[in-house]
């Protein structure tokens, strides 16, 4: 007579649960790792992931992750805002040298036209640059030439 296996075999076709959990007052998202029996538990705080772990989280674990997340978010500046500010300054500086259309600016800054047009519209609305030319091909320049 054969002994039963001490561990349950992983069935790769078995559907595993993705639904979020409520641990105390904290929301925890679970993500099964494909091809393994493990699940990653992500503690959420305000729509952002505050912490991750492989074991089932307790209320203390969730509180620790949220406290660390709040401390780090207070210390760290908003990187996207810093990059946008730097890019705006570089665009205005480039337009001080010569007039350019949107395609020239895209090739200069390695951006797509779909991401450059909103930036240019914002700079025009803030009166940092001037837009002239036709509707199909606007030309941008700085106030000071």
Instruction: Supply the pLDDT for residue 24.
Output: 92
Question: CA–CA distance from 106 to each of 74, 83, 90, 101 (Å)?
Answer: 34, 16, 12, 9
Average pLDDT over residues 34-63: 90
**pLDDT confidence of residue 16:** 78
Neighbours of 42 (CB within 10 A): 18
Strand duo 138-142 + 129-133: pairing = antiparallel
Once rounded to an integer, what is the mean pLDDT over residues 136-142?
88
Q: Do 41 and 22 touch, CB atoms closer than 8 A?
A: no
Q: Which residue has the higher pLDDT, 25 or 109?
A: 25
Q: Please report, for the chain, the start and end positions of each structural domain, with discontinuous segments joined by +.
A: 21-75, 79-142
pLDDT single digits (tens) 53-101: 999 999 999 999 999 988 876 655 555 665 677 888 888 888 888 899 8
CB neighbour class for 50 (10 Å; exposed up to 12, middle 13-18, buried from 19): buried
pLDDT of residue 29: 92
Average pLDDT over residues 5-27: 80
Q: Give 76 or 139, the one with higher predicted confidence.
A: 139
Whether the predicted pLDDT of 42 surpasses 90 = yes
Domain 79-142, CATH number (from 3.40.50.150, 1.10.10.10, 3.40.190.170, 3.50.50.60): 1.10.10.10
């Amino acid at each position: 007579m054969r002994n039963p296996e001490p561990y349950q075999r992983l069935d790769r076709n078995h559907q595993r649960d993705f639904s979020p959990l409520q641990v105390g007052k904290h929301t925890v998202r679970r993500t099964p790792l494909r091809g393994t029996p493990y699940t990653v538990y992500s503690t959420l705080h305000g729509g952002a992931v505050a912490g991750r772990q492989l074991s089932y989280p307790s209320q203390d674990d969730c509180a620790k992750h949220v406290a660390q997340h709040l401390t780090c978010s207070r210390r760290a500046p908003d990187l996207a805002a810093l990059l946008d500010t730097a890019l705006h300054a570089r665009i205005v500086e480039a337009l001080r040298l010569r007039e350019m259309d949107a395609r020239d600016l895209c090739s200069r800054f390695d951006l797509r036209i779909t991401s450059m047009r909103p930036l240019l519209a914002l700079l025009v609305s803030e009166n940092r640059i001037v837009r002239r030319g036709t509707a199909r091909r606007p030309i941008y320049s700085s106030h000071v030439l």
